Amino acid sequence: MERRDFLHDISQLTVAVCAGSLLAACSKSSDNNATPDPGGGGGGNALITANLTSELTAVGSSKTSGSVIVIRTAAGNAAASFVALSLICTHQQCTVNYIGDNGFKCPCHGSEYSVSGAVTMGPAPAPLKKYTVKVSGNTLTVS
C-alpha cells in the first residue's frame, strides 16, 4: 500500500468513527427526551406535586422545587390552604429565603415579603410571582 492510499484509508476511517460517535450522541439525547419524567404522582406539567398524606402536613411547612415553593398556610386539604410562589426576588432576581411566619427575605438588598408574597420592605418593586395550587384528593399540584 502506498503512502497516499494509506492516508486516504485512514481519513475515511476517521470520518466513519466520528459520524458514528455523533449519531450515538444524538440517539442518547433523543432517548432522554422520549422518557417521560414520572414527576412523583402524574402531575403532568406540574412544577411541584405533593402527597398530602405525608407532605405539607403542618401549617408553615413547605416544599421547594427549583425556584418555586409551596407553603401550607392553613389546615385542611383545600387549595386555599396553600400558597405557591416564585423564590425569585422582583428587585434584581436574587433567590429569596423562606423564613417561616415572617415570610421571605432577600439576601442581596434586604427586601422582605409576606408569606403571601406581598412586599413588606423594599427595594423590591412588586410581589413575588404566584402560581396556581390545585388539590385533588390527597394530591397537591402547583402549576
Q: Of the candidates 30, 53, 92, 136, which one interacts with ligand FES according to CB under 6 A?
A: 92
- Select the span of 44-52, 72-80, 102-110, 127-135 touching ligand FES (CB under 6 A): 102-110
> Rounded distance, CA 1 to CA 128, Å?
72
Residues 6+ apart with CB under 8 A from 72: 56, 57, 58, 59, 60, 61, 62, 81, 82
> Rounded distance, CA 61 to CA 13, Å?
60
Residue 109 interacts with ligand FES (CB under 6 A): yes or no: yes
- Select the span of 12-20, 25-33, 47-55, 109-117 touching ligand FES (CB under 6 A): 109-117
- Select the span of 15-23, 26-34, 46-54, 101-109 touching ligand FES (CB under 6 A): 101-109
Could you tell me the smallest distance in angstroms from the CB atom of residue 141 to ligand FES?
28
Chain residues in the site for ligand FES (CB under 6 A):
89, 91-92, 94, 106, 108-111, 123-124
